[in-house]
């Protein structure tokens, strides 16, 4: 793994990537680094000391260089020294998230010192949350593209709702509202965080900084592909700025594991399920979702009563006030609970996995689509409710959990969850979405192959950015 001293040769086009300090934001840009390297570009990835080991391991078989910058200290009384990723925050509430993100501005001087010692940069892709990198790009005279974790569907819906003030006339949180520009789409207030359009002073500062920098950037790098959402790609690139460059699915570019790499225990368990001819339901809600002990108890009851084979990835069991110590024993043989970080693409691409209960973070949704695994959508936060609508209503590759009150963010009882996981895994509705997602998986594969839509888009991006 390189450092500043052995950075890329100045004769090659050279790209800087700067992911935000969160695995969900970092992993897509690490996949992008491999894409750029495959086009004979040199790549330098910026990070922080605590995040570097993960990035070094991820890029161990590549020629990308990695530079770490000191992360600001003493940014909030509840953020201890050494916490350099939102995954490690005690909560992802506004109280901690905005101070954490705004503090990254203090990295700018060190970032620019590092840039001054690197070969000339052709262009940079930095996370949209790192708005201040635009100023650095202007100072060093190279284009900055913002990486957007959203898809075009969500971006277009957000923009339409904000500009047409559609939420202001709704009488209840669950009233269906028709989008004037996309009349087949109906949303509710609960599809948006309660803070949408109403932010704390720190939140307002953050969003003004981010949006101001995005609009002035050379473009957006979007982890999607044209065939998945052509209406929304065309709308964005006709009516909105800057241009959205759809170069995904980025997860398609993961290198194949080496034969000598030891298999994690959960992959060995899935191998056994494959030999037994058993279909497995995968359950995971990402690294940021906060789930109550009461809700965890209902999930456990549903999985136990369903009689389905399942792999459930959960935060540390001891972090929940409820955890039945005998649960693992009762489901032994057909259920496995994992309390550590897993490589989700390995799980979703395993032949035994045929359903995914997901929070519908966009990375997870794309990984499921690429693997041809249908989704049971259970959105938790951020733009996930819109992603869930896209998955279920727009591209029709999943079903939706049933909440007690029928609302977007309602509590899910064991009986309702058991009903829906069985529907996904064993009934006709599940087979319909399974067929659809497998068709889209093939389209996604073709998009990143030479001559495909995403392949051509990336080449155009490189040519235009490097000639700017």
pLDDT tens-digit map of 314-367: 876 555 666 777 888 898 889 999 988 899 999 999 999 999 999 999 999 999
Cα separation, 422 vs 303, whole angstroms: 10
What is the rounded (10 degree) CA torsion for 245, 246, 249, 254? -20
395-416 pLDDT, tens digit each: 999 999 999 888 888 899 999 9
Q: What is the pLDDT of residue 247?
A: 97
Q: Which residues contact 449 (CB under 8 A, 6 or more apart)?
A: 455
Q: What is the pLDDT of residue 4?
A: 45
Q: Is the pLDDT of residue 2 over 70?
A: no
| Residue 201 and residue 193 in contact, taking contact as beta carbons nearer than 8 Å | no
252-298 pLDDT, tens digit each: 765 555 555 688 999 999 999 999 999 999 999 987 777 888 999 99
* Confidence category of residue 93, pLDDT binned at 50, 70, 90: confident
Q: Do you find a cis peptide bond into 111, omega within 30 degrees of 0?
A: no
Mean pLDDT for the stretch of residues 301-313: 95
* Helix/strand/coil for 283: strand
Cα separation, 137 vs 15, whole angstroms: 12
Residue (of 231, 29, 276) closest to 145 by Cα position: 29
Q: Which CATH architecture has domain 265-445?
A: 3-Layer(aba) Sandwich (3.40)
Q: What is the pLDDT of residue 369?
A: 97
Residue (of 121, 126, 123, 124) closest to 148 by Cα position: 126
Angle between helices 293-306 and 414-426 (to 10 degrees): 40
Token reading at 217: 């950037």
Residue (of 234, 265, 237) closest to 336 by Cα position: 265
Residue (of 456, 36, 43) closest to 246 by Cα position: 456
- Give the phi and the psi of residue 67 in degrees, each rounded to 5: -125, 125
| Residue 78 and residue 93 in contact, taking contact as beta carbons nearer than 8 Å | no
Can 4-151+192-254+447-467 and 265-445 be said to share one CATH topology?
yes
Q: Which residue has the tokens 């959508």?
A: 377
Q: Which residue has the tokens 């979702």?
A: 289
| CATH tag for 4-151+192-254+447-467 (out of 3.40.605.10, 3.40.50.300, 3.40.50.2000, 1.10.10.10) | 3.40.50.2000
Q: What is the pLDDT of residue 203?
A: 82
Whole-angstrom CA distances from 417 to 230, 273, 309, 329 are 33, 23, 15, 21
The burial of 103, by beta-carbon neighbours within 10 Å (0-12 exposed, 13-18 middle, 19 or more buried), is given as middle
Q: Which helix (H) or strand (E) holds 178?
A: strand 177-178
Q: What is the pLDDT of residue 357?
A: 98
User: 171-185, 221-235, 256-270 — which one is most confidently predicted on average?
Assistant: 221-235
Q: Residue ranges of the domains in the chain?
A: 4-151+192-254+447-467, 265-445
Mean pLDDT for the stretch of residues 417-438: 97
Q: What is the pLDDT of residue 8?
A: 47
Cross-strand partners of 181: none
């Amino acid at each position: 793994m390189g450092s500043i001293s052995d950075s890329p040769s100045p004769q090659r086009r050279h790209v800087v990537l700067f992911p935000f300090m969160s695995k969900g934001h970092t992993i897509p840009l690490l996949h992008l680094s491999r894409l750029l390297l495959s086009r004979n570009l040199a790549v330098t990835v910026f990070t922080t000391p605590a995040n570097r080991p993960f990035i070094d391991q991820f890029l161990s078989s590549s020629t990308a260089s990695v530079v770490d910058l000191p992360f600001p200290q003493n940014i909030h009384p509840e953020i201890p020294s050494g916490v350099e990723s939102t995954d490690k925050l005690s909560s992802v509430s506004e109280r901690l998230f905005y101070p954490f993100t705004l503090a990254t501005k203090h990295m700018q001087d060190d970032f620019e010192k590092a840039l001054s010692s690197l070969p000339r940069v052709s262009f940079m892709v930095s996370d949209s949350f790192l708005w201040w990198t635009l100023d650095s790009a202007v100072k060093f005279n190279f284009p900055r593209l913002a990486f957007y974790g959203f898809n075009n569907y969500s971006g277009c819906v957000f923009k339409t709702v904000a500009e047409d003030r559609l939420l202001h006339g709704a009488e209840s949180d669950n009233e269906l509202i028709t989008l004037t520009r996309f009349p087949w789409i109906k949303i509710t207030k609960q599809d948006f965080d309660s803070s949408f359009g109403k932010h704390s002073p720190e939140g307002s500062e953050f969003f003004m900084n981010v949006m101001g920098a995005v609009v002035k950037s050379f473009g957006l790098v979007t982890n999607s592909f044209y065939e998945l959402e052509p209406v929304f790609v065309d709308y964005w690139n006709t009516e909105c700025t800057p241009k959205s460059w759809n170069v995904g699915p980025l997860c398609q570019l993961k290198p194949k594991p080496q034969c000598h790499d030891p298999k994690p225990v959960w992959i060995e368990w899935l191998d056994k399920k494959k030999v037994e001819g058993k279909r497995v339901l995968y359950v995971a809600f990402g690294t940021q979702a906060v789930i109550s002990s009461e809700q965890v108890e209902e999930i456990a009851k549903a999985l136990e009563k369903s009689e389905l084979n399942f792999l459930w990835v959960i935060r540390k069991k001891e972090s929940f006030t409820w955890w039945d110590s005998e649960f693992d024993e009762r489901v032994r043989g057909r259920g496995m609970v994992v309390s550590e970080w897993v490589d989700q693409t390995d799980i979703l691409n395993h032949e035994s996995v045929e359903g995914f209960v997901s929070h519908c973070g966009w990375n997870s949704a794309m990984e499921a689509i690429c693997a041809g695994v249908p989704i049971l959508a259970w959105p938790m936060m951020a733009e996930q409710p819109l992603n869930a609508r896209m998955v279920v209503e727009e591209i029709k590759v999943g079903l939706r959990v049933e909440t007690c009150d029928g609302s977007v963010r309602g509590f899910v009882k064991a009986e309702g969850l058991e009903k829906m996981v069985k529907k996904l895994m064993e009934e006709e509705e599940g087979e319909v979405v399974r067929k659809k997602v497998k068709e889209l998986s093939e389209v996604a594969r073709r998009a990143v192959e030479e001559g495909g839509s995403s392949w051509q888009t990336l080449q155009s991006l490189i040519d235009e950015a490097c000639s700017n």
